[in-house]
Amino acid sequence: MNKKQKRNLTRILVSLALMIVLRFVPVGNEAIRFALYMVPYLIVGYDILYKAFFSVKNREPFDENFLMAVATIGAILLGEYQEGVEVMLFYQIGEWFQSYAVGKSRRNITELMDITPQYANRETEDGIEEIDPGEARIGDILVVKVGEKIPLDGTITQGSTSLNTSALTGESKPKDVTVGDAVISGCINMTSPIKIKAEKLYDDSTVAKVLDMIENATSNKSKSEDFITKFARYYTPAVCYSALALAILPPLFIRFILHGESSFGTWIFRALTFLVISCPCALVISIPLTFFAGIGGASKAGVLIKGSNYLEALSKARYVAFDKTGTMTKGVFEVTTIHNSGLNREELLEYAAYCEALSNHPIARSILKEYGKTIDKDRIVSVKEIAGKGIEALIDDKSIFIGNEKLMNDHNIPIQECQEDGTIVHVAIDNTYKGHIHVGDRIKENAASSIAELKESGVKKTIMLTGDEETSARKVAESIGIDEVFAGLLPQDKVGCLEQILQRKNENETVAFVGDGINDAPVISLADVGIAMGTLGSDAAIEAADIVLMDDDPIKVPKAIRIARKCMNIVYENIIFAIGVKLIALVFSALGMAEMWMAIFADVGVMVIAVLNAIRALGVKDL
């Protein structure tokens, strides 16, 4: 508990103790009795009265503080001192439970924010200096000792170790890394000191982006939250005027129309009970808290959701489309075979490597790795990348085309067919076909499981959108159970295909797209819910995405959907429960069948139950 919660709990306990004493110590003098009851009332309720006063002063009186103040002061003026104090006391007990629940959810977020590195050890000519991570620059060599957090994204230049990535990915299993491996900020070094070369500034690092996404998540409200906000705006003044009418109209009607006897005090007390019951705290507090808890729970599982509107949209996902490379496959390519024609194998590989020397694409890296020699950049005259097709280059005064079948067809170069599965990189020199290089990729371990779980969860169709050639794409799709494949797509073609998928859905259904590359950013932005693979994903894809998976595991996609659906179920449960109980209690109150304890339960009791139910959204272990 924080200081404020402890202070409020002390006020509650002191007031409760005084009420117990007053209940068993009779006081005959009315003035003394009034004064004694005012002590616990003011101890427990002074902040509510203070807020109510200023809300009236600011001409915005219709809130829960105003309702509580009017109801309790009214009860006291009618001589019901005990009722007035008890209503305020139980309301504050409910507020304390609500504060505790919010605090529990916020602690969940705070744990995630503990990934922030407090310092970085920069290697200099004079030794190691401790600096703020924000002072580090790209290219700096940083020493990370055992137990320390990696301060910036970078690549290991010395040492091997195991990293604790659980705060970022939700995965408890340590990750083994060595020289040449990319590492991200926020991970904890567990076994051996390492040196890393910083490749991003702190403001662009994974830690900074994660914290920014979490801090801004509450700004994107769901339709349910917007509804509750608008509902409370009109509901509260409506019940205030209804309570006023209940206090005045029935006794006037009975006295002057029916010529009967009716006490204004009785109807005023009913109106005050009506006010206590009508307070919309359960809805106003529990619905945002449920989303907040859901986003916090998802964060612990390595699923970062940028707002409750995206959580709500994800719960309705019935079509899920995937990119292939780096999303459903590992994106770890290896050259498996080289088929040369009119050129020896080494020369074919050499020209291919020189064409790919300036590219950062996984296929390019695999060819450069297979070549394994230093690139003499003076031999490269020009290089032009042709989106979705390949590369056109001028090397050693020779015109070279390297890429897929489309590139060869564009230049009327006949190719040699290859029956192997995977990516085929064709090579032509001076408009003459010289052979092709086969590059293979591996499917991720959980790819098939993720598709199976999506279908079990009610997703109507799973789809693959890829720029790879059709044979390879279909084989991958069939092996993991994807329903539909669109292959050989340029970035603009992916957008067109997704637009077709968006036209299939019903009004209450959404389409999610999962991708990782920079060419996926337009499709991620277009989808109802864009999901980016975070750790290996490009900055553009993460920026465009609504949801980021921190460990690139596709099994997190069905888990994210289950989290979203659990959260929305809790939201609907709270809405139905809170409104249902209040409507029943309001009817009883208007008919004079509701005592003040029923009013207290309909307000504070419902709020506490709804808040405790909302906390369930934090639990994601069994999903």
Question: The domain spanning residue 162 has which CATH number?
Answer: 2.70.150.10
More confident residue, 97 or 185: 185
Reading phi first (left if > 0) and then psi (alpha if -120 to 50, else beta), residue 176 is in beta
Residue type, 425: V
- pLDDT(205) > 90: no
Is the same domain home to 611 and 571?
yes
3-state secondary structure at position 490: coil
Is the same domain home to 606 and 474?
no
Is the same domain home to 588 and 603?
yes
How high is the pLDDT of residue 234? 75
Look up the CATH number of the domain holding residue 465: 3.40.50.1000
Catalytic position from the list 323, 421, 516, 553: 323
- pLDDT(508) > 60: yes
Beta bridge partners of 515: 532
120-124, 246-250, 286-290: range with lowest mean pLDDT: 286-290
DSSP secondary-structure letter at 617?
G
Q: What is the tens place of the pLDDT at every residue in 385-417? A: 887 788 999 999 899 999 988 899 999 999 988
- pLDDT(456) > 90: yes
In a domain, 555, yes or no: no
Which H helix or E strand runs over 337? strand 334-340
Which H helix or E strand runs over 105? helix 81-113
Is the same domain home to 106 and 62?
yes
41-45, 542-546, 596-600: range with lowest mean pLDDT: 596-600
More confident residue, 589 or 478: 478
Q: What is the tens place of the pLDDT at every residue in 130-164? A: 999 889 999 999 999 998 999 998 999 999 998 88
Is the same domain home to 323 and 460?
yes
Mean per-residue pLDDT of the chain: 83
How far is residue 602 from each of residues 75, 87, 93, 101, 228, measured CA to CA in Å?
17, 11, 14, 19, 18
In a domain, 484, yes or no: yes
Is the same domain home to 485 and 515?
yes
How high is the pLDDT of residue 537? 46
- Asked whether 576 and 619 are in contact (CB, 8 A), the reply is no
- Asked whether 315 and 568 are in contact (CB, 8 A), the reply is yes
> 159: which residues sit within 8 A by CB, 6+ positions away?
178, 179, 192, 193, 194, 195
- Asked whether 81 and 595 are in contact (CB, 8 A), the reply is no
CA distance 580 to 593: 17
Percent of the chain scoring above 90 in pLDDT: 29
The dihedral sign for the CA sequence 392, 395, 399, 400: negative
Look up the CATH number of the domain holding residue 380: 3.40.1110.10
In a domain, 530, yes or no: yes
Beta bridge partners of 303: 549
In a domain, 577, yes or no: yes
Whether residue 528 lies in the annotated active site: no
Q: Is 347 exposed, middle or buried (0-12, 13-18, 19+ CB in 10 A)?
A: middle
Q: Which of 406, 440, 474 is the last residue of a domain?
A: 440
- pLDDT(211) > 70: no
Is the same domain home to 454 and 316?
yes
How high is the pLDDT of residue 220? 60
Q: Which of 512, 545, 578 is the last residue of a domain?
A: 545
- pLDDT(522) > 90: no
In a domain, 204, yes or no: no
Is the same domain home to 458 and 317?
yes
CA distance 331 to 329: 6
More confident residue, 379 or 296: 379
Is the same domain home to 484 and 529?
yes
3-state secondary structure at position 463: strand
Q: What tokens does 109 get? A: 């977020």
Is the same domain home to 449 and 320?
yes
3-state secondary structure at position 144: strand
How far is residue 79 from each of residues 30, 35, 75, 243, 507, measured CA to CA in Å?
9, 12, 7, 19, 56
Is the same domain home to 46 and 193?
no
Is the same domain home to 436 and 452?
no
In a domain, 163, yes or no: yes
- Asked whether 510 and 561 are in contact (CB, 8 A), the reply is no
> 226: which residues sit within 8 A by CB, 6+ positions away?
none
3-state secondary structure at position 428: strand
In a domain, 387, yes or no: yes
pTM over 0.75: no
How many separate domains does the chain show?
4
Task: Select, from the ranges 23-37, 98-112, 593-607, the one with the highest average predicted confidence (pLDDT).
Answer: 23-37
In a domain, 206, yes or no: no
More confident residue, 241 or 318: 318
Percent of the chain scoring above 70 in pLDDT: 86
Backbone angles phi, psi at 2, to 5 degrees: -85, 180
How high is the pLDDT of residue 502? 92
> 99: which residues sit within 8 A by CB, 6+ positions away?
4, 5, 8
- Asked whether 407 and 313 are in contact (CB, 8 A), the reply is no
Beta bridge partners of 175: 163
First to last CA, the chain: 29
- pLDDT(562) > 60: yes
Q: What is the tens place of the pLDDT at every residue in 468-504? A: 778 778 888 999 999 999 988 877 788 899 999 999 8
How high is the pLDDT of residue 623? 65
To 10 degrees, what angle do helices 308-315 and 223-256 make? Answer: 100
Domain extent for 181:
120-151+153-199
Q: Give 350's pLDDT tier (boundaries 50, 70, 90).
A: very high
State the number of CA atoms in the 13 A half-sphere of 524 facing the CB. 27
CA distance 51 to 256: 39
Q: Which of 424, 440, 456 is the last residue of a domain?
A: 440
